[in-house]
Amino acid sequence: MYNFEFAKAKTIGDAVKALASDDAQALGGGQTLLPTMKQRLAAPTVLVSLNAIPEMIGVCVNDAGEVCIGGATTHAAVAREVAAHYPALAALASHIGDPAVRNRGTIGGSLANNDPSACYPAAVLGSGATVKTNARDIAADDYFLGMFTTALEQGEIITEVRFPVPHKANYQKFVQPASRFALVGVYVAQYAGGVRVAVTGAASDGVFRWAEAEAALSGDFAAGALDALAVPGNDMITDLHGSADYRAHLVKVMTKRAVAAAH
């Protein structure tokens, strides 16, 4: 790790100001950023911690019935506090990493990072959530722009994420054996307007919606509705842990399991 300055913002405004300089960087739980800094692969001169901004921490339900999660809320807090409102989302949070990771890592950090194998992107895209920043609201469909790439501008911070609550939902994660991130993760959510299916871990462009499955499940929300479908291997990742074909196969298996388990 190289030396850096440390700023602990108390308000969103303070944080945005502190992040104005080019080589300043936001710090959420540090679960991704700090290991990168230890390896000397990242070298921000100022780290602006978002963990002490009260308006960015916690869970509530707004008038529209959406579950609103502060951008600096930890995975553990989501697992605990969202369980009563949106159990599938809480269950997803409760299986991210290990207790230490869940007690530090934040939803904002995870979404800003947009690791192609991360879990939250599937929930956000699968729920059609809204990513709220200090500057604007971004619809999930406009937010994820490919592996490690998002619609966030330099210095823009995620202050809240708002999830509409579906009738039924479930997340199925088939773990990459070493990291236990998602080798393939599928989030299925059934809303009045239709079913959303979001897939993480599998594709080289990061999280995506599986349109054919959404159409089939919107007609018949049953695992059998997917029987005739197949995911093409073209855009899937091939690496040490699985071929593109294997990932494509798992997408279908996990989608079926998610449908069967949704409640």
Partner 1 sequence: MPKDTGIGARSKRREDVRFLTGRGAYTDDLAMQGQVHAVMVRSTVAHGRIVSIDTSAAAAMPGVLAIFTGEDFVAVGGNPAGWLINSRDGTPMREPKRPVLAHGKVRHVGDAYAAVIAETHEQARDAAEAVAAGTEIEELPAIVDMAAAVANAGNRVHDEIPDNLCFDWGWIEDNRAAVDAAMKAAPHVTTLELVNNRLVPNAMEPRASIGEYNPGTGDYKLTTTSQNPHLTKLLVCAFVLGIPEHKLTVVAPDVGGGFGSKIYHYGEEALVLAAAKKLGRPVRWTADRTESFLTDAHGRDHVTTIEVGATLDGEILAIRTNTLANVGAYLSNFSTATPTFLHGTLMAGPYKVPHVYVNLKAVFTNTAPVDAYRGAGRPEATYSLERAIDKMARELKLDPVAVRRKNLLKPDQFPYTTPVGLVYDIGDYHATLDKALEMADLAGFEARAAKSRAAGKLRGVGLSTWIEACGIAPSHLVGQLGSRVGLYDAATVRVSATGTIQVMTGAHSHGQGHETVFAQVVADKLGVAESAVEIVHGDTSKIPFGMGSYGSRSLAVCGSAMDRALDKIIDKGKKIAAHMLEAAEGDITFENGSFSVAGTDKAKSFGEIAFSAYVPHNYPLETLEPGLEETAFYDPNNFTYPAGAYLCEVEVDPDTGKVTICSFTCADDFGNVMNPMVVEGQVHGGVAQGIGQALVEHTAYDENGQLLTASYMDYTMPRADDLPFYQVDHSCATPCTHNPLGVKGCGEAGAIGSPPAVVNAVIDALHRGGMTQVSHIDMPLTPARVWAAMQA
Residues numbered 112 to 131 that lie near ligand FAD (CB under 6 A) are: 112-113, 115, 118-120
Q: Is the dihedral of CA 2, 5, 11, 17 positive or negative?
A: negative
Helix (H), strand (E) counts: the chain: 10, 12
Position 86 contacts partner 1 (CB under 8 A): no
The correct pick among 9, 12, 16, 33 for binding ligand FAD (CB under 6 A) is 33
CA dist 4 and 203 (Å) reads 35
Distances (CA, A) of 147 to 27, 104, 169, 203, 207: 20, 23, 25, 9, 8
45 binds, among partner 1, ligand FAD, none (CB under 5 to 8 A by kind): none
Residues 158-177 that bind ligand FAD (CB under 6 A): 158
User: From the CB of 3, what's the least distance to ligand FAD, in Å?
Assistant: 18
Asked whether 86 and 63 are in contact (CB, 8 A), the reply is no
Binding-site size, ligand FAD (CB under 6 A): 31
Read out DSSP for 75-114?
HHHHHHHSTTT-HHHHHHHHTSS-HHHHHH-BHHHHHHH-
Q: How far is the CB of 243 from partner 1 (least distance, A)?
A: 7
Distance CA 212, CA 66 (A): 27
The answer to whether 177 contacts partner 1 (rule: CB under 8 A) is: yes
User: What character string, x for contact with partner 1 (CB under 8 A) and - otherwise, covers 229-258?
Assistant: -----------xxxx--x--xx--x-----
Site residues (vs partner 1, CB under 8 A)? 1, 3, 39-40, 174, 177-179, 240-243, 246, 249-250, 253
Site residues (vs ligand FAD, CB under 6 A)? 25-33, 50, 71-72, 96-97, 101, 104-106, 108-110, 112-113, 115, 118-120, 157-158, 180-181
